[in-house]
Structure 1
Amino acid sequence: MREDRCDVLVVGGGLGGVAAALAAARRGYGVVLTEATDWIGGQLTTQGVPPDEHPWIEEFGCTRGYRALRDGIRAYYRRNYPLTAAAAADPRFNPGNGRVSRICHEPRVAVAVLEEMLAPYRAARRIRLLTRHEPVAVGRDGDRITSVSLRDAAGEVVEIAAAYTVDATELGDLLELGAVEHVTGAESAAETGEPHALDGEAEPLDQQAVSWCFALEHRPGEEHVIDRPRDYAFWRDHQADFWPGPQLNWAEINPWDLTEHRRALFEDSSGRPDGFGLWDFRRILARANFAESAGLGDVTLVNWAHIDYWLGPVVGVQPEERERHLESARQLSRSFLYWMQTEAPTADGGAGYPGLRLRPDVLGTSDGLAKAPYVRESRRIQAEFTVTENHVGARAREPLVGAEVFADTVGIGSYRIDLHPSTGGKRGPRTFVDIETWPFQIPLGALLPVRVDNLLPAAKNIGTTHLTNGCYRLHPIEWNIGEVAGTLAAHCLDTGLIPRQIRARADRLAEFQRLLAADGVELAWPREVRGLKQYY
């Protein structure tokens, strides 16, 4: 086993991990950034999910670093793609014209831009990037993490010691490996006091569905039907008690009111969708934005509720069970594609779109599915402070207007409490939970484990509940959390303090908040926005 050391070890190369690495390196510290796959970017790239953001993202409501990422993506297209005159002149150019985001784009473009952001620090050896490295063990000495052991693709193990360790893994892996106090699944109302928490006992195995995304283009008149998936018969007939018909179906549930909605793949000839046009919802390349000579066509990213896998959890279970559920999620995605190609009702009364073709190149894989499943929920630290529905939920806070104001704010975010169907634990799968929220702040206390001194979370593993994870899990918020974690690690190395000492004293907290603000971290919403419910 090899040994290595650094000032700050960041395990997990998702958005939070990259932001943490950049923040620590910017302050002069040596960082090792590790990633289990061969791409950095996490939910934006390896999981293939265009950014879910709030309505004000173009003007404010994110850190300077996250805005640099968004600006960099647009600049990449302007430098390298033959845009139409209209697209080139649009300051808010959206490569895919997707409805889910103001900047739907190809995952590999985000990888390229993130690599550009890391480049000067890698050249200076302030950041060393280790891809295809998976954490397998955590060393502890009392209340401190001493090292993390990681196994590479060849099976070799490196043990890396660091003064501070940042857990930016997609499932909060270091919390389990290091026996750091954490929770999984859904809490009970008796525990949290949340109006929408579970009645009765908590359900640690009640976790949001994972989804295995894939990219498609449509080539009418051509035949690109995949082999019939092994589990196709099961998924064609499977129906949850809350789902309108079999899961392989254009119908789905509207999460806002739990009514049935009829969907369609494409808009009809009048340009109006039949219920809802899925194709352009997460479209990541729109042919209309590019010169005809380029030969670029539409590419859409399939991350629709039809591929949500809710038949079992992926944390808190044995590795064999986790792998079984992940393989079943892959089978569901392939089965939905096969159904669309062969049996799906079409607008002209026919069946199937055989011209739907997987685009494995878009996701950097051989089979056309994303490198990793889209994970909506992970292990969460037991934190000095836990954000609940009562801090951010619009109905839960009536008659008050606005989310809780946190004295220890280290950033802001805004999204509805948006829970996809969940595994349900002993109770069995249950449907969407969707709750209005106020634009909210990120409290420093939610980033501090109750006991361990030098481990910081930088993804979906902060001190939220099952419910509030649903509004703190989005792209710009994860970046903000990671940027704070990296800055906090560096500030602690500068001062000799530990994170909880910074939060405990008003003068130290104010100094840290000034550092964040100087780096472009917004700490509060403008007054005119703070009292607006998040409908988007």
Structure 2
Amino acid sequence: MKMKRSLSLLTVSSTLLSFIAPSFIAPYQAIATPPRTPDKTVNCDVLVVGGGLSGVATAYEGLLAGKRVCLTEITDWVGGQISAQGTSALDERPTQRRRLFYSRGYLELRKRIKDKYGGLNPGDCWVSDSCFLPRDGHKVLNKMLKDAAREGRGKLRWFPNTVIKDLETTSDGKIINAAIAIQHKPAKGAAPLNTSPLSQTIEDAYNYDDSSKFAKTIIRFTPKRKQSNSPNWYIVDASETGEIVGLADVPYRLGIDERSYLEPSSSSISNDPYCTQGFTYTFAMEATQNAQKHDMPPFYMQYSPYYSYELQRLASFPLVFTYRRIWSPQQGAQMTFGGINFSTPTPGDISMQNWTWGNDYRPGTSQDNLIYTRQQLQSSGQLVPGGWKGGLRTEALRKAEEISLGYFYWLVAGTTDSQLGEGVKKPHPNHRFLSGLNSPMGTAHGLSKYPYMREGRRIIGRPSWGHSKGFMIWEIDISRRDYNDEYYRKTLSPSTYRSLRTALAGLETTSVILGRKDPSSVARRTRSTIFPDAIGIGHYAIDFHPCMTKSPPEAAGNTERKGERRGAGQAYPFQIALRAMIPQKIDNLLVAGKSIATSHIAAAAYRVHSFEWSAGAAAGTTAAFALKNNIAPYQLVDELPKIEPKLIELQRLLNQNNNPTAFPDTSIFNEKWDDWR
């Protein structure tokens, strides 16, 4: 396999650790400030908020459909997970990857990565078939969008370093008429963008006024067409945390869902909005020929009780280094540890770090949670006009930055292990932390531009057939678990357990409901739920990075929230329902990415790269289809289970465009879904 091996890097000394210091801690409170007159107005057919994979996929399909697409992003890179968040290792399942059964844009992304490097895996990592440099993810996707605009005769308006500050709606609140955004660039004489970490810039980014760091441009996004009886433009929330969902104040869930027959593995009998999955600032480190000098960060001892290899079978530095190695100039000798085969690191190798008991930050209480609940948004003034500040706790971002920088020091100099005890961790000084604007992460401080987010606000869809309280995709819709063990019999009430077994009866459900069969005698269906309004696909394991029990997360002796990993495990290939993308209250808002209507447990599978692309492709196609047919998306599903001719037409269009809505040979009559691994 031929690969390009030259790479220019600017490294900066460990004094950059001082960028993140306690002096920047400040109470987080939104202050409503009146906007100045917008500097410019921009017309769009589709406004995509968030430039991650789901946002790019939305824009990609919108452009191919000939639409005028405006794409905003808080950073200056498109790609989200594979670029600005640094997680440039594609999470894929073996069967789907072997059969290359993905959306057309995702297949094009994989092809262009392969073309660029001469192979999919220039990092020779072992977690994925494709590990590469984050900045190249941005470059590849940027070119894909330009090519899509040219091919489809659409118009792309790209707005980096831009956040949405406010929304203007009709008097009944059903239509968003305009979105007010703030775009920033360096103020005169100020340091370049990406010099300071996010925690030091995010609050400034949401203020209308210019500052010592930023010069601001106020943009008013509006529809291109005049008002009609149906929406004349669409806003797609493809942000990482469900930001527009929070700002628009539509119904949503956050954190753990209450235990029920639909979510039987929930760790709580009631909803807990503060326990979301951990988030991570990734970074890149390079193997060197000689030992490097490493200074202990001033905050290291605060976080040192947290760091660990986690499991004995993972307690190998070379294994952890090569896990998400994103660049490897020469292949080292093969070695095996814990049953895993990988090539030995060699000088010049670059690894991206994303480790649960390393740089994951996992708050789980009301004192430290990252994503503010609706109550917290209200109390901080973020739901009043002009008060929106992004909906995140700045202090949690700052501490996540610190724990990540501390984790690098632990890798190269640490000798403790919080889970495995003494004598396991050894120093590995022949490595350096890569930082600088030309480094893999593209930041002076070396951390990713934005943290890798695993979970955000998740909408509650509109009440529909079989979902009287609002549409949701639940644990039992996708999990391979048979729920026949003693835990569920003892934990769930008899009536709840009976409802669970009934819901899993598959083709025999009717017989169970009518009393012809005892639910305990019925074999559990071996497939995921098939949705009549499916418009996309995904497949991944239900994968948890649980919140911690006590505050702060890094406290000595702290443990993961009890029971959070119970729902983890294998999932069947699953579908994305259109109803999961349509929020309540607002008719011209669609939701893509991780904020679709999934439960806490289901969301642990509905969050990886190919799913994000499929959801975005569905959103972009749906928006363009709705505009062309003068119909709102909710009208495509409001008569289910009756036949919806326009829904069928949309599904046909998606499949014709090679954006599949179902996996091959997966139907209610096919019991061989176990073959999909």
Shift of 1:248: 2.0
Helix, strand or coil: the match of 1:301? Answer: strand
1:308 aligned partner? 360
1:272 aligned partner? none
1:381 aligned partner? 459
Matches of 2:624 and 2:216, distance apart in 1 = 32
Aligned counterpart in structure 1 of residue 308 of structure 2, from 240, 243, 249: 249
Q: Which moved more, 1:329-338 or 1:423-432?
A: 423-432
Helix, strand or coil: the match of 1:407? Answer: coil
Shift of 1:198: 3.4
Shift of 1:513: 0.4
8 Å contact from structure 1 (residues 416, 535) kept in 2: no
Residue 525, structure 1, aligned to residue 663, structure 2: yes
1:82 aligned partner? none
Aligned counterpart in structure 1 of residue 534 of structure 2, from 394, 409, 413: 409
1:81 aligned partner? none
1:269-326 CA distances to partner (integer Å, 9 max, x unpaired)? xxxxxxxx11111111122369xxxx98311110011221113321115569711111
Residue 156, structure 1, aligned to residue 217, structure 2: yes
1:15 aligned partner? 53
Structure-to-structure mapping, 1:138-177, within 5 angstroms: 138-141=167-170, 142-153=173-184, 154-162=215-223, 163-177=233-247
* Residue identity in the other structure for 2:264: P
* Residue identity in the other structure for 2:286: E
Matches of 2:675 and 2:98, distance apart in 1 = 16
- The normalised TM-score by structure 1 is 0.86
Helix, strand or coil: the match of 2:108? Answer: helix
Residue 54, structure 1, aligned to residue 115, structure 2: no
2:141 aligned partner? 114
1:231 aligned partner? 299
Q: Which moved more, 1:68-77 or 1:214-223?
A: 214-223
Return 5+ residue gaps in structure 1 as ranges: 79-86, 88-92, 238-246, 254-259, 267-276
* Residue identity in the other structure for 2:124: N
Helix, strand or coil: the match of 2:477? Answer: helix
Aligned counterpart in structure 1 of residue 633 of structure 2, from 499, 502, 511: 499
Helix, strand or coil: the match of 2:599? Answer: coil
Residue 490, structure 1, aligned to residue 551, structure 2: no
8 Å contact from structure 1 (residues 345, 352) kept in 2: no
* Residue identity in the other structure for 2:578: L
Residue 468, structure 1, aligned to residue 602, structure 2: yes
Shift of 1:222: 3.1
Matches of 2:662 and 2:451, distance apart in 1 = 33
* Residue identity in the other structure for 1:113: V
Q: Which moved more, 1:354-363 or 1:108-117?
A: 354-363
Q: Which moved more, 1:419-428 or 1:131-140?
A: 419-428
2:160 aligned partner? 131
2:325 aligned partner? 283
* Residue identity in the other structure for 2:292: E
Matches of 1:530 and 1:424, distance apart in 2 = 40
Helix, strand or coil: the match of 1:9? Answer: strand
Helix, strand or coil: the match of 1:4? Answer: strand
Shift of 1:531: 3.6
8 Å contact from structure 1 (residues 61, 413) kept in 2: no
Residue 75, structure 1, aligned to residue 115, structure 2: yes
Matches of 2:637 and 2:331, distance apart in 1 = 48
CA 1:236 to 1:118, structure 2 compared with 1: closer, same or farther past 3 Å? same
CA 1:199 to 1:485, structure 2 compared with 1: closer, same or farther past 3 Å? same
1:423-443 CA distances to partner (integer Å, 9 max, x unpaired)? 569998516522221111111
Shift of 1:119: 1.5
Percent identical: 31
Matched residue count: 491
8 Å contact from structure 1 (residues 63, 480) kept in 2: yes
Helix, strand or coil: the match of 1:229? Answer: coil
Shift of 1:134: 1.0
2:406 aligned partner? 335
- The normalised TM-score by structure 2 is 0.68
8 Å contact from structure 1 (residues 414, 534) kept in 2: no
Structure-to-structure mapping, 1:252-271, within 5 angstroms: 252-253=310-311, 261-266=313-318
* Residue identity in the other structure for 1:22: Y
Residue 37, structure 1, aligned to residue 81, structure 2: no
Matches of 1:310 and 1:3, distance apart in 2 = 40
* Residue identity in the other structure for 1:8: V
1:61-100 CA distances to partner (integer Å, 9 max, x unpaired)? 310111001101111113xxxxxxxx6xxxxx42112122
Helix, strand or coil: the match of 2:440? Answer: helix
Shift of 1:40: 0.6
8 Å contact from structure 2 (residues 100, 107) kept in 1: no
8 Å contact from structure 2 (residues 286, 350) kept in 1: yes
8 Å contact from structure 1 (residues 313, 423) kept in 2: no
Matches of 2:49 and 2:602, distance apart in 1 = 24
8 Å contact from structure 2 (residues 161, 183) kept in 1: yes
CA 1:394 to 1:321, structure 2 compared with 1: closer, same or farther past 3 Å? closer
Shift of 1:228: 2.3
CA 1:210 to 1:278, structure 2 compared with 1: closer, same or farther past 3 Å? same
Matches of 2:455 and 2:586, distance apart in 1 = 22
1:321-343 CA distances to partner (integer Å, 9 max, x unpaired)? 71111111111111111122222
1:270 aligned partner? none
Runs of 4+ in 1 over 3 A off after TM superposition: 120-125, 317-321, 348-351, 423-429, 528-536
* Residue identity in the other structure for 1:330: E
When Rg is computed on C-alpha atoms for both structures, the one with the higher figure is: 2
8 Å contact from structure 1 (residues 230, 331) kept in 2: no
